[in-house]
């Protein structure tokens, strides 16, 4: 099989080979090429030592921050290309990085230390695909299989547990039973993974093509770091709107939503607080009064614990607080939501609401149609440069001062005018707004 290699990557490999070294593209770029997916980047493995790599690229911009572990980064046509010496990893005492790295002249040594068979392939146009662990077979079987003993692989680097889950979701592959058993057995090792590393893999997992399978099967693994998941598992909702328990609904809502990281993240947490506010009435109907506020607060705590950026925490909290609203194709409703959320978050909320309703009973699917109408209406209002925020008003604070208002009364009057425009009680013209202010401002 012939794999396309971009010209700048091919040029780097040629330089290395012309200096007497073996050079291969390795890992994800080989995997993605076989799958027919354009690789995000290309990594090169080479028989040269780090100092020898550097000597081959005089005149190039070189980044040697990873040289301790054998990686030299060459800047080629504005792209950072990692070139790593064939290596053998030592023991992993911290379940993260090898205590020592020994360099090797053998590609086979380098491939033997990799996590999964689908990532343990190399390619050079002269030799073709080098695949000692059956990565191609596992690609066609749609299986995530470890290189060697999965327990050893996960013990070396506990993040590989999350990487297995992430690749399963991203590619829509099953996890090999031996690897899956090791994941459950060694799940507590995730406590040794930094919050930042866990969070990055979690977002990639949620953004994959098949998050449902991972969320529904490996919830106990994720719950090592997010224990708030467990009360949701198997919790029957006793609601005419819901066909599934809380966690199954959450998993399906992520699967049925747009592949937007913040949307998927919000949906994973949108009902996380339901078990805390459940009540069952005399007719056997379940109620979750205020669950959106409880879930939003819990989500914020979880995301802060996982070291998500503050703007992400605020956005997810906001999306969860508003996810429960009943869709209404009404100009005032849409205008008010855009005013409260901002344009970008409004459209994200619509995607959250669609995912939520697609994971309910079939009669709720009608809501998705209404949400699409709300999206269309929002686009029309934005195109018309409608009024959503104070800066869109045709008057300013100085205008309020001119009618005798002072201090906080100025801000209160502007807020009142914005509400009036949104509710279509007055037009957004200076004349109409000044008249309305003179009649209603106190």
pLDDT by residue, tens only, the chain of 442 residues: 889 999 999 999 999 999 999 999 999 999 999 999 999 999 999 999 999 999 999 989 999 888 888 999 999 988 999 999 999 876 666 666 666 778 999 999 999 999 999 999 999 999 999 999 999 999 999 999 999 999 999 999 999 999 999 999 999 999 999 999 999 999 999 999 999 999 999 999 999 999 999 999 999 999 999 999 999 999 999 999 999 999 999 999 999 999 999 999 999 999 999 999 999 999 999 999 999 999 999 999 999 999 999 999 999 999 999 999 999 999 999 999 999 999 999 999 999 999 999 999 999 999 999 999 999 999 999 999 999 999 999 999 999 999 999 999 999 999 999 999 999 999 999 999 999 999 998 7
Tokens of 207: 């953004």
Give the closest residue to 63 by CA, choosing from 54, 50, 72.
72
| Cβ 109 vs Cβ 70: under 8 Å | no
Q: Compute and round to an integer the Cα radius of gyration of the chain.
A: 28
Specify the pLDDT at position 75. Answer: 94
Largest Cα–Cα separation, the chain: 86
Cα separation, 204 vs 23, in Å, equals 30
Specify the pLDDT at position 343. Answer: 97
Specify the pLDDT at position 95. Answer: 64
| Predicted structure pTM score | 0.91
Specify the pLDDT at position 57. Answer: 94
CATH superfamily membership of 7-134: Beta Polymerase, domain 2 (3.30.460.10)
Dihedral (Cα; 206, 208, 209, 213), 10-degree rounding: -50
| Cβ 40 vs Cβ 123: under 8 Å | no
Cα separation, 373 vs 354, in Å, equals 12
Q: What is the CATH number of domain 142-225?
A: 1.10.110.30
Strand locations in 151-275 (E): 174-175
Specify the pLDDT at position 48. Answer: 95
| Cβ 266 vs Cβ 323: under 8 Å | yes
Cα separation, 185 vs 182, in Å, equals 5
Cα separation, 263 vs 374, in Å, equals 17
| Cβ 91 vs Cβ 113: under 8 Å | no
**Residues in the chain, total:** 442
164-180: b or e for each residue (b if 16 or more CB lie within 10 Å)?
bbbbbbbbebbbbeebb
| Cβ 413 vs Cβ 438: under 8 Å | no
Tokens of 385: 């440069």
Which residues have CB under 8 Å from 263's CB, separation 6+? Answer: 257, 319, 348, 351, 352, 355
Q: Where are the chain's structural domains?
A: 7-134, 142-225, 226-362, 390-440
Phi–psi pair at 101, nearest 5 degrees? -125, 130
In sequence order, the β-bridge partners of residue 44 are 25, 83
Reduced DSSP (H G I as helix, E B as strand, rest coil) percent helix, strand, coil of the chain, to 5: 55, 10, 35
Q: In which region does residue 51 sit, left (phi positive, over 0), alpha (psi from -120 to 50) or beta (all else)? A: alpha
Q: Is the dihedral of CA 339, 342, 344, 350 positive or negative?
A: negative
Specify the pLDDT at position 33. Answer: 96
The architecture CATH gives domain 226-362: Orthogonal Bundle (1.10)
| Cβ 323 vs Cβ 297: under 8 Å | no
Cα separation, 51 vs 82, in Å, equals 14
In sequence order, the β-bridge partners of residue 73 are 63, 82
Cα separation, 274 vs 267, in Å, equals 13
Specify the pLDDT at position 89. Answer: 78
């Amino acid at each position: 099989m012939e794999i396309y290699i971009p010209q700048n990557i091919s040029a780097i490999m040629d330089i290395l080979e012309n200096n007497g070294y073996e050079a291969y593209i390795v890992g994800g770029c080989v995997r993605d090429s076989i799958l027919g997916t354009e690789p995000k980047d290309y990594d090169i493995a080479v028989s040269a030592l780090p100092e020898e790599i550097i000597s081959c690229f005089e005149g190039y911009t070189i980044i040697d921050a990873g040289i301790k572990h054998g990686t030299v980064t060459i800047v080629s046509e504005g792209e950072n290309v990692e070139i790593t010496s064939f290596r053998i990893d030592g023991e992993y005492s911290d379940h993260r990085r090898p205590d020592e790295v020994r360099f090797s002249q053998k590609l086979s040594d380098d491939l033997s230390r990799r996590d999964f068979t689908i990532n343990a392939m190399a390619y050079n146009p002269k030799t073709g695909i080098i695949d000692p662990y059956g990565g191609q077979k596992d690609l066609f079987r749609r299986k995530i299989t470890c290189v060697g003993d999965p327990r050893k692989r996960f013990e070396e680097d506990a993040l590989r547990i999350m990487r297995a889950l992430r690749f399963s979701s991203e590619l829509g592959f099953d996890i090999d039973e031996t690897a899956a058993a090791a994941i459950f057995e060694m799940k507590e090792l995730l406590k040794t993974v930094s919050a930042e590393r866990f969070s990055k893999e979690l977002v990639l997992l949620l953004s994959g093509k098949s998050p449902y399978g991972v969320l529904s099967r490996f919830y106990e693994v994720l719950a090592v770091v997010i224990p708030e998941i467990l009360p949701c598992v198997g919790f029957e909702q006793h609601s005419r709107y819901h066909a599934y328990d809380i966690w199954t609904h959450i998993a399906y809502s992520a699967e049925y939503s747009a592949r937007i990281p913040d949307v998927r993240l919000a949906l994973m947490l949108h009902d996380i607080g339901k078990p805390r506010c459940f009540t069952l009435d005399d007719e056997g109907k379940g109620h979750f009064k205020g669950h959106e506020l409880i879930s939003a607060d819990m989500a914020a705590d979880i995301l802060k614990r996982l070291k998500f950026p503050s703007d992400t925490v605020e956005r997810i909290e906001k999306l969860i607080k508003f996810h429960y609203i009943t869709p209404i194709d009404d100009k005032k409703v849409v205008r008010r939501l855009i005013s409260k959320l901002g344009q970008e978050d409004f459209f994200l909320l619509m995607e959250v609401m669609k995912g939520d309703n697609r994971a309910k009973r079939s009669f709720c699917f009608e809501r998705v149609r209404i949400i699409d109408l709300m999206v269309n209406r929002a686009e029309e209002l934005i195109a018309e440069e409608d009024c959503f925020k104070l800066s869109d008003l045709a008057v300013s604070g100085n205008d309020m001062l001119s009618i005798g208002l002072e201090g906080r009364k100025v801000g209160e009057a502007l807020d009142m005018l914005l509400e009036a425009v949104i509710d279509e009680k007055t037009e957004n013209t200076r004349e109409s707004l000044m008249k309305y202010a003179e009649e209603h401002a106190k």
